[in-house]
Amino acid sequence: MDIGFIGLGNMGQPMARRLIEAGHRLTVFDTRREAVDQLAALGAIAAASAADVADKVETVMASLPTPAIVQAVSTGDGGVIQGKRVRRFVDLSTTGARAAAANAAVLASKNIVQVDSPVSGGVAGAKKGTLAVMVSGPSPDIDVVKDALSVFGKVFVVGNKPGMAQTMKLANNFLSATALAATSEAVVMGVKAGLDPAVMIDVINAGSGRNTASTDKFPKAILPRSFDAGFATALMLKDVRLCLEEAKALGVPNDVMSAVARLWELTAAEIGADKDFTTIIQPVERRAGVTVGAAEKKT
């Protein structure tokens, strides 16, 4: 299948690579030339702009960091909407339901169908092809791209309206963000009381408190103090904010969301929005006066 791919960052690069390895013919664009060159070396065709990609293929995929960038790339000057051949825009980004619906309406004015397809599973999942791929949009267009999307992982068709997959993604990421925030507070409390954090994580993972933070982020990035899970605090904060906004717009109680959002806001302000999202434990540590990590492991 001929596919355009825009956005070759931490997630986009390995997803685009998997498409090439699966035999799809890719035309790619990114503002970073080195990212384009890496895929061109594997056989991808380099494009000069988003519109240039959309001149060459009927299906354009995009993996971009923020709703504003998605909007600019898809419907802005020099964007996908100005392409002469494009028929569908597959958005792999996380934008929120309302932004997705608004973007879909603009694209529809030029007879371009938007398929929402946010993914979950992180950089490791993108590399391994084990992502959860959430999809919503018109069934005929989903049928066209479903096999290609399956290269990224397991495909879940969640609805036929613009934004439905975005709501699913925000619900998922809110739970992930909450697990990391809550586990950070719980483990810091234990360390302050004298518990070994490594033993705590082992117990949690054998018990009912087990979650994605305890099974993955703590053992791999927090206890070793490497803070290199591969996802920026700014991106998680963006997702939590979008989820909170959607909950408020729908009139849904959001007490937990609001509390979780405050810790992510604090982490971005105090530790740095550009830092890895596993640094969320650091503001908690500072206030408790302890450090969680391998150094505390008792011999």
* Whether the Cβ atoms of residue 19 and residue 75 lie closer than 8 Å to each other: no
Q: What is the bridge-based pairing of β-strands 88-91 and 113-116? A: parallel
* Whether the Cβ atoms of residue 127 and residue 152 lie closer than 8 Å to each other: no
What is the distance between the alpha carbons of residues 18 and 25, in angstroms, rounded to a whole number?
Answer: 11
Catalytic-role residue among 56, 146, 169, 298: 169
Provide DSSP, the chain. Answer: -EEEEE--STTHHHHHHHHHHTT-EEEEE-S-HHHHHHHHTTTPEE-SSHHHHHHH-SEEEE--SSHHHHHHHHHSTTSGGG-SS--EEEE-S---HHHHHHHHHHHHTTT-EEEE--EESHHHHHHHT-EEEEEES-HHHHHHHHHHHTTTEEEEEEESSTTHHHHHHHHHHHHHHHHHHHHHHHHHHHHHTT--HHHHHHHHHHSTT--HIIIIIIIIIITTT---SS-BHHHHHHHHHHHHHHHHHHT---HHHHHHHHHHHHHIIIIITTSBGGGGHHHHHHHHT---SGGG---
Token duo for residue 24? 């799809």
Does 169 qualify as catalytic in the annotation? yes
Ramachandran area for residue 227 (φ above 0: left; ψ -120 to 50: alpha; else beta)? left
> Which positions are catalytic?
169
